[in-house]
Amino acid sequence: MAEATPIAGAPEVVTPEARRAFWGAFLGFFVDFYDIYLPTVALTPAIIYFFPKNLPVQTVATLNLFVFAVTLIGRPIGSIIFGHFGDVIGRRRTTMVAISGFAVMTFLIALLPGYATWGYASIALLIVLRLVDGIFMGGEYTSANPLAIEAAPKRWRGMVAGFIQSAYPIAYIAISLSVLIVFLWAPAGTLNSPYVQFWWRIPFVFGAVLGALMLIYFARVPESKLWETQAKDKVKAPLLDLFRGRNFLNLAQVFLMMSGLWFAVQISISTTPTLLQTVLKQPPRGVTYGLFVANVFLAASYYLTAWLGQRFGRRPVLIITGAIVAVAGTIGYWLMLANASAKGPLVLTMAIYVVVLCLTISPWGIVTAYINERFPTRVRSSGYGIGYSLAVIIPSFASFYFLGLTKLGIPYVYTPLVLMALAGVLQVIGAWLGPETRDVDLHRVEEEEEAATARAGEPAPA
């Protein structure tokens, strides 16, 4: 087959404009993840502020996890809404609207009164604001990350994706630091403690300020040249295009794989602080220190898996790491819980957690590149956003699955082990069903898939 003629907008070198797009996506993801994990780090020590006294500990843990879950549910809604606009009006403008929205929502949460003032209306409003917050958060990465990947030369896409994804653990470190600093003069513990009554608000205010600063920075990020060349003024209904033919098959495969990845997040990240602090009564400050250290290592592990995916291919690395999640991740998480349940040293509990977190979450270093490489330019924002986010819905109800598993005789504290094993299995199957994407040209995604199908002697899907 003759070599294709280069298309305007397909980058060959990293330009200053591309670097601004990379940093814009990184900083946007940083603020997004800072805000999304505020409930698990900043609010968990103060969650009793929103609930009546004497609720059963499992009920408090379930409701606390649900506050986080509604944010995750909002993200796929945001990816559908903002993915459409990212493909129709451009990645840059859509990102700026999304950033503005979640900065405002995060600030409003910082103003909420507690149960003593508004009763159950306080927790209801917290849930509503987190849902809307999640919608805007889903819009941010749905548009900003495709913009960055489209600006990256092929040989750098994997590392750029790992750089963007590393914003998550760095954001988690920032949350942990902000909470630890507040703990220095405002301890938590009882309903009337200073942190529970007021100071939990400070990390939320800081998150809103970060959103405002991010908006100022992104005003300097240029629009995607690839989108301007291939999709501007041509795309009218990207969602209809995404949910039919080859694009729909690609989306279904990505959904299966991402379901596994999101189950791992729910266990290793979202569930762990609540299990350790609320159920197993580990000290909040010690757990927060442990989370800080764990995410330092996780940031490095993202770069490792990004490099492995660029060196050996995205598909084999996703398959191998999925198997590691299913086996080593499950065993490691059990060891962590067993030590905490036996009131073993907290330092050992958190040391095991460091290993588990890196093993189970590091595959995310490949995700941003892989999903963007699965969809053509005209639906890439929608495909990436929905493919990344839609699969979160089922795993986001993990706290309710825990309660269901207890009816089978599994102790509540060990119910996450079942879902951890499931996470690895789903990741392996999903990645195995998909193609290798490392060498795909983003401006020729459909043509290359059709060529691969023809070489295999199979008819192309409608």
Confidence (pTM): 0.84
Given a cut of 80, whether residue 462 has pLDDT beyond it is: no
Q: Take residue 87 and report the two structure tokens written for it.
A: 């493909």
Rounded Cα distance between 338 and 416, Å, is: 13
| Within a domain: 229 | no
User: Does residue 245 come out as left (phi exceeding 0), alpha (psi in the -120 to 50 range) or beta?
Assistant: left
Given a cut of 50, whether residue 2 has pLDDT beyond it is: no
Rounded Cα distance between 270 and 272, Å, is: 6
Given a cut of 80, whether residue 10 has pLDDT beyond it is: no
Given a cut of 50, whether residue 32 has pLDDT beyond it is: yes
Given a cut of 90, whether residue 348 has pLDDT beyond it is: yes
Given a cut of 60, whether residue 460 has pLDDT beyond it is: no
Q: What is the mean pLDDT of the segment spanning 334-351?
A: 90
What's residue 354's pLDDT?
93
How does 416-434 read in b/e, with b if 16+ C-beta sit within 10 Å?
bbbbbbbbbebbbbbbeeb
Considering only residues 115 and 310, tell me which one the structure prediction assigns the higher pLDDT: 310
Q: Looking at residue 189, which CATH number applies to its domain?
A: 1.20.1250.20
Given a cut of 80, whether residue 164 has pLDDT beyond it is: yes
Q: Give Cβ neighbours of residue 436 (< 8 Å, ≥ 6 apart).
A: 313, 314, 315, 316
Q: Using 50, 70 and 90 to split pLDDT, how confident is the model at 39?
A: confident
Given a cut of 80, whether residue 319 has pLDDT beyond it is: yes
What's residue 449's pLDDT?
65
Residue with tokens 């300097």: 220
For the ranges 170-174, 344-348, 367-371, the maximum mean pLDDT occurs at 367-371
Q: What is the mean pLDDT of the segment spanning 29-45?
A: 83
Q: What is the mean pLDDT of the segment spanning 110-135?
A: 90
For the ranges 45-59, 91-105, 219-233, 266-280, the maximum mean pLDDT occurs at 91-105
| ∠ Cα 13 222 169 (to 5°) | 80
| Within a domain: 10 | no
| Within a domain: 3 | no
Per-residue pLDDT tens digits for 415-457: 999 999 999 999 999 999 999 999 999 888 777 666 665 655 5
Total tally of structural domains belonging to the chain: 1
Count CB atoms within 10 A of the CB of residue 122: 18
Range of the domain at 58: 16-218+234-455
Helix (H) / strand (E) element for 168: namely: helix 167-185
**In a 10 Å sphere around its CB, with 0-12 CB exposed, 13-18 middle and 19+ buried, how is residue 362 labelled?**
buried
Count CB atoms within 10 A of the CB of residue 401: 18
Given a cut of 50, whether residue 461 has pLDDT beyond it is: no
Q: What is the mean pLDDT of the chain?
A: 87
| Within a domain: 4 | no
DSSP letter string over 291-345? HHHHHHHHHHHHHHHHHHHHHH-HHHHHHHHHHHIIIIIHHHHHHHHHHHHTT--
Q: How far is CA 185 from CA 113, 181, 182, in A?
A: 21, 8, 6
Q: Using 50, 70 and 90 to split pLDDT, how confident is the model at 1?
A: very low
Given a cut of 70, whether residue 173 has pLDDT beyond it is: yes
Helix (H) / strand (E) element for 247: namely: helix 245-265
| Within a domain: 339 | yes
What's residue 454's pLDDT?
60
What's residue 453's pLDDT?
57
Q: Using 50, 70 and 90 to split pLDDT, how confident is the model at 5?
A: very low
Stated length of the chain = 462
Residue with tokens 């299966």: 256
Nearest of 281, 293, 72 to residue 176 by alpha carbon? 293
Per-residue pLDDT tens digits for 217-230: 988 899 999 888 88
What's residue 457's pLDDT?
53
Considering only residues 79 and 190, tell me which one the structure prediction assigns the higher pLDDT: 79
Q: What is the mean pLDDT of the segment spanning 360-386?
A: 94
What's residue 295's pLDDT?
86
Count CB atoms within 10 A of the CB of residue 75: 29
Q: Take residue 173 and report the two structure tokens written for it.
A: 């470190």
